[in-house]
Structure 1
Amino acid sequence: MSSIPKQNMKASLNERDGFQVWWRLLRPHTLTAAFVPVFIGSMLAALEGSIHLGLFTAMLIASILIQAATNMFNEYFDYVRGLDNENSVGIGGAIVRDGISPKVVKSLAYSFLGVATLLGFYICSSSSWWIAVIGLISMLFGYLYTGGPSPIAYTPFGELTAGLFMGTVIIGISYYIQTLSISWDVIIISIPAAIFIGAILLSNNIRDRVGDAENGRKTLAILFGHQGSIRFLMTVFILAYSLTLIMILVGMLPLWSIITFLSLMKAIKAVRGFVGEKQPLEMMPAMKATAQTNTVYGILLGLSLLIHLYIPLTL
């Protein structure tokens, strides 16, 4: 990519100074990936007649903090490794464009993990201390995602890791702390949400494919190529919606969950948005639509469970 003056790049990305600098550092478009699983897991627990608002709130805040910290570690380690520069698209840009000290970004990430840990103590004391083990493993993988000698984000396993820990694991924990139990139904129901979360990362890697390949990464987008990655994104979307429909038909999900298909338009927009585009900036709308697919699907799924709690509706 040709060099673009820093201020011109900030203008192209519509980036503002002040509070906006710190807000961008959080990468807010990714934070719904933390909210959605907590909401789904908690609503599944509500169907079992068990919901504790204090635990729900603590889990929600802790999940968001861990996601934000992961984003900050991503920003820090990509800068340290020389992968990000002032022309990079899709990053917070706090270090390379806004001049925030890398040490400040790393310290803020550790602070967020510290607060999440304190909330974890409350959650564990109110449910089970086994949650602490799972929580520590999740935070470790959040760090190893872009930190450590072999960052997961630079391998073909980034999407799987993100979907597993930010989807299935968080849904399972959110359900367990409310009911002190877990079932295969909960794990299976979590799969489409996990797929959509992994799709967010896939869309990010499609956008960054060329630059990532130049820097030695081996993501799925690089292995599949641009067209292959778009086909794979479409395939995982089809899989997620197919699983949802099957779960409705077999009674694992209530009939109300059919409303999740309202998110299908966002998924179609995401796939179409990548077709024929080559420049990272041009693919930003498609990536945004992918994140919105996860958000809309997850919120609608959670709402369908809540509605079913008061107005039961099955086939």
Structure 2
Amino acid sequence: MATMVQWIEGARPRTLPIAVSPVLVGTGAAIGSGVVAPGRALLALVVALALIVGVNYANDYSDGIRGTDDERVGPLRLVGSRAAAPSAVRAAAIVALSVAGLAGLTLVSLSRQWWLITVGALCILGAWYYTGGKRPYGYAGLGEVAVFLFFGPVGVLGTVLTQSGPPGALAIVGAVGVGLLACAVLVANNLRDIPTDEVVGKRTLAVLLGDTDTRRLYAALAAGPFLLSVAAGLRSWPMLLALLAVPLAVLPIRDVLGGATGRKLIRVLAQTSLLLLAWSALTAVGLLLGRFV
């Protein structure tokens, strides 16, 4: 039976910034438009956190029963390591995704954005079928597309819509930037796993691109949001605050382009998550301050 520490590790806390960041940016945009709704922001955060914990447990379960996690360099996998029974991990995934669904329904009922129920249902299905089902799309090189959409435009713009209404152009810029950095987190993870994923037939985007091109993709994804910040700064100078996060991008980009492998990429994963969180927090402040300039 897995310990509480192992369950927490299985939830992959290093990925939590992927959930927090879109809510930060979306809430910053909402406040920047003159609306302060802390209750709805908290509900959006619950949705995002429960969704990513759910997808992490769902991936653990699906990969574990396929045997694709038997040999791993990265964080603990509960099923693959035999620390927890597959049924227990599946139940944990279902509970987390159910919490996301209930919080989402509450948020939709408060905002009256009823069409978002369909979006929420797609998010939950996307979480399960990333590595679940007979034809998981994460095994077909589409994982980055889903992460970009769900934790970029959907997460950020959905947060704005449920708090203040239709998003403006700067919020859309923030959504794209969050999506790119969320993808960078996944690319760092999949870059590390190329050798083992190739063996078990897991065709992630990293496997399809190969080592060299995956490293270039990571660098582009990690640097791209700063170009967006510069462009947005031409319209509203507080958006330039996100450039303060540039130093956090230097080391992981250097390590990836320098050929880091194995456990060194675990460090890159943590650094990329921190970069995502910092860029998002600074962008949220920029969006908020934009109201006054």
Q: Normalising by the residue count of structure 2, what TM-score does the alignment of the two structures yield?
A: 0.93
Match of 1:290 among 272, 280, 293: 272
User: CA shift at 1:70, angstroms?
Assistant: 0.2
CA distance in 2, matches of 1:233, 1:36: 19
Match of 2:19 among 34, 53, 56: 34
Q: Which aligned pairs between 1:1-315 and structure 2 lie closer than 5 A?
A: 18-85=3-70, 87-97=71-81, 99-127=83-111, 128-249=113-234, 251=235, 254-277=236-259, 279-309=261-291, 312-313=292-293
2:101 alignment partner AA: T
Flag the 1:89–1:44 CA change in 2: closer, same or farther, 3 A.
same
2:29 alignment partner AA: L
Once the two structures are superposed, what CA deviation does each residue of 1:222-269 show, in whole Å capped at 9, x if it has no partner?
A: 2322222112211223332112211111x1xx3222221222222221
Q: Which runs of 4+ in 1 moved over 6 A?
A: none
User: CA shift at 1:90, angstroms?
Assistant: 2.3
Once the two structures are superposed, what CA deviation does each residue of 1:153-193 show, in whole Å capped at 9, x if it has no partner?
A: 21222112101111110111100011232445433331111
Name the stretch that deviates more: 204-213 or 153-162.
Answer: 153-162
CA distance in 2, matches of 1:158, 1:88: 19
Cross-structure match for 1:9:
none
Once the two structures are superposed, what CA deviation does each residue of 1:106-143 show, in whole Å capped at 9, x if it has no partner?
A: 10110111122221221111112212111111111111
CA distance in 1, matches of 2:250, 2:189: 16
Unaligned runs of 5+ residues in structure 1 are 1-16
User: CA shift at 1:221, angstroms?
Assistant: 1.6
- Percent identity among equivalent residues? 25
CA distance in 1, matches of 2:3, 2:65: 24
When Rg is computed on C-alpha atoms for both structures, the one with the higher figure is 1
CA distance in 1, matches of 2:259, 2:231: 34
For the residue of structure 1 that corresponds to 2:79, the secondary structure is coil
Native 8 Å contact 2:67 2:80 kept in 1: no
2:84 alignment partner AA: I
CA distance in 2, matches of 1:288, 1:25: 15
2:251 alignment partner AA: K
Unaligned runs of 5+ residues in structure 2 are none
For the residue of structure 2 that corresponds to 1:180, the secondary structure is coil
CA distance in 2, matches of 1:303, 1:188: 14
User: CA shift at 1:278, angstroms?
Assistant: 6.0
CA distance in 2, matches of 1:83, 1:99: 16
CA distance in 2, matches of 1:226, 1:278: 11
For the residue of structure 2 that corresponds to 1:31, the secondary structure is helix
Over the aligned positions, Cα root-mean-square deviation in angstroms equals 1.9
CA distance in 1, matches of 2:287, 2:258: 38
Greater relative contact order, per chain length (Cα 8 Å cut-off, separation 6+): 2
CA distance in 2, matches of 1:175, 1:283: 34
Native 8 Å contact 2:151 2:178 kept in 1: no
Cross-structure match for 1:3:
none
CA distance in 2, matches of 1:276, 1:41: 34
Once the two structures are superposed, what CA deviation does each residue of 1:8-33 show, in whole Å capped at 9, x if it has no partner?
A: xxxxxxxxx84321211110111110
2:102 alignment partner AA: L
